[in-house]
Amino acid sequence: MLATMGDSREEAARVFVALATASACAVTACGTMPGFATAPMARAPEIADNQSRCKLAANHENPLVTEWPAPEKANLEARLREGSIVVSYTGCTLKMLPRCHVKGEYQWRRTTTSSDTVEIHNADELYAKMPLGAITLEGELQRSGRLAVQTTVAGQFKLAEFDPTNFPRDAECVGATHVIGALTVGAFKLRSGGTAKVSGQVGAGGVGGGASSSSEETVMREAGAPARCEASTDAAPHPECASPIQMFLQPLPANIVDRGPAGTVKAKFLPVRPGQDWEVTVGDRKMCSTPCERWVDPAMPYSLKYDPGILQRNEIVEVPDLRPFAFHERIEVRPTPRNNGELIGGILLTTFGGIGVVTGTVLTSVGAGKSDGTTMRNAGLITLASGLLLLAPGIWMVVDSKGFVKITPMAAQSPWPGGEGTKP
């Protein structure tokens, strides 16, 4: 009996210790015990360093293009003869839009021949100095420890007669962010390696001696002959000193960069009341929550809806037809919700006014049918007039209490003629 009680106590103690240990592991994330499953720990999503570097590189509007492959450079040189080169630039990528034709031409300007060397030793320098080729060159930089670009410039092609006000609005120009304002040309060499690395000193028996290693410098890409750059003239660069070296990008105006598909208008839906989540809907589909901006089809019907909770009635403000305002391209939609106080007051006035009109009508009719009904008839007329005085403003208040929408051009806050919206 005693042995049985002792075994039971020992078994209970072992279970207690196992449970305590499992609890401690769940809190401190220790290793999984046999027979116990622990939930995996949540991890915050990691953002790649390259993504943030590319965002910083987007502010660098004078990128080198020496690392471009030969076919892309040849395409760039050919495009110089066709007019303004419109591009989509996001920091680490640049895409030419050859079918986006904008007035302008590139004129050659010879400059004093000059040489320069850009050295890169880490990824931050790579993304800052050569963002367009950073992703492809990062592996070579890690391997060799150094990249160097030696350039010789003879002049530049500069954009003239470019007019952004006549920028076309078509599918070929969607995504445009910049135009190449100038392009320097010349000769260059892109090298990797060439840095010395000392490994340590070890001699016989572990004393004395020395050993060192250095990475060999290799030419990755090159174009043109620097010695020929002096032969460039005012008419044109020398054929062996005409390779694209560096772009000078000119940002397009914001109203060109931010363009929607043809036939759409950008609508900025403003909040109805502070602290309330109003939804912008198209039919039964939610589009966004105020405040928000969207390129929308002006022919579609839009509404603003608010759900205050279970025991209250939903509020809806209908947006008027946007087609009369679509020629402004960017508009503000400023809703005004239903005025509940005015609605209640209008209902009360309409109710009492209606009672007065009915009562006055009855008294007037009865008094008019009696020979001695002058007093009743006069009372009826007074009651009828009082009822009408209450009924008219009551009806107006009920109608006026409904929400309405004011539509104005986004660039100008004052509404244009007839642009103050309509009350539903």
For the stretch 312-366, pLDDT in tens is 777 788 888 888 888 888 888 888 766 667 778 878 888 887 887 888 788 788 7
Q: In residues, how long is the chain?
A: 424
Question: Does the CA dihedral 356-361-362-363 come out positive or negative?
Answer: positive
AA identity, residue 238: H
Residue 119, beta-bridge partner list: 148
| Among candidate residues 230, 247, 256, the one with its CA nearest the CA of residue 115 | 230
- For 122, 159, 246, 258, 360, the CA distances from 91, given in Å and listed in that order, are 18, 22, 15, 17, 79
**Model confidence, pTM:** 0.55
| Among candidate residues 290, 322, 325, the one with its CA nearest the CA of residue 305 | 290
SS3 100: coil
Residue 118 corresponds to which tokens in the numbers above?
Answer: 């850009």
CA distance 178 to 164: 11
104, 82 Cβ separation under 8 angstroms: no
Give the pLDDT of residue 49.
58
Q: What is the pLDDT of residues 244-264, one digit of tens each?
A: 999 999 998 877 777 777 788
| Among candidate residues 240, 293, 256, 313, the one with its CA nearest the CA of residue 86 | 256
CA distance 162 to 156: 17
CA distance 8 to 17: 14
- For 299, 343, 353, 391, 424, the CA distances from 350, given in Å and listed in that order, are 37, 10, 5, 5, 20
Can you point out the beta strands (E) in 19-176? 86-89, 94-96, 105-120, 147-160
Residue 161, beta-bridge partner list: none
Scored b (16 or more CB within 10 A) or e, 176-198 reads: bbbbbbbbbbbbbbbbbbbeeee
CA distance 267 to 331: 5
| Among candidate residues 297, 272, 275, the one with its CA nearest the CA of residue 287 | 297
CA distance 320 to 416: 15
What pairing do the DSSP bridges indicate for beta strands 265-269 and 330-336? Answer: parallel
Residue 10 corresponds to which tokens in the numbers above?
Answer: 């020992």
**Residue ranges of the chain with per-residue pLDDT less than 50:** 1-9, 12-13, 15-17, 19-48, 196-213, 412-424
Give the pLDDT of residue 374.
78
DSSP letters spanning 265-276: EEEEE--SSTT-
DSSP state of 413: S
CB atoms within 10 A of CB 115: 13
CA distance 224 to 239: 8
CA distance 113 to 185: 11
Give the pLDDT of residue 340.
67
CA distance 188 to 70: 13
CA distance 416 to 326: 13
The residue assigned the tokens 């209908």 is 318
CB atoms within 10 A of CB 304: 24
CA distance 67 to 189: 9
Q: CA 366 from chain center: how many Å?
A: 73
Backbone φ and ψ for 124, nearest 5 degrees, come out as -60, -45
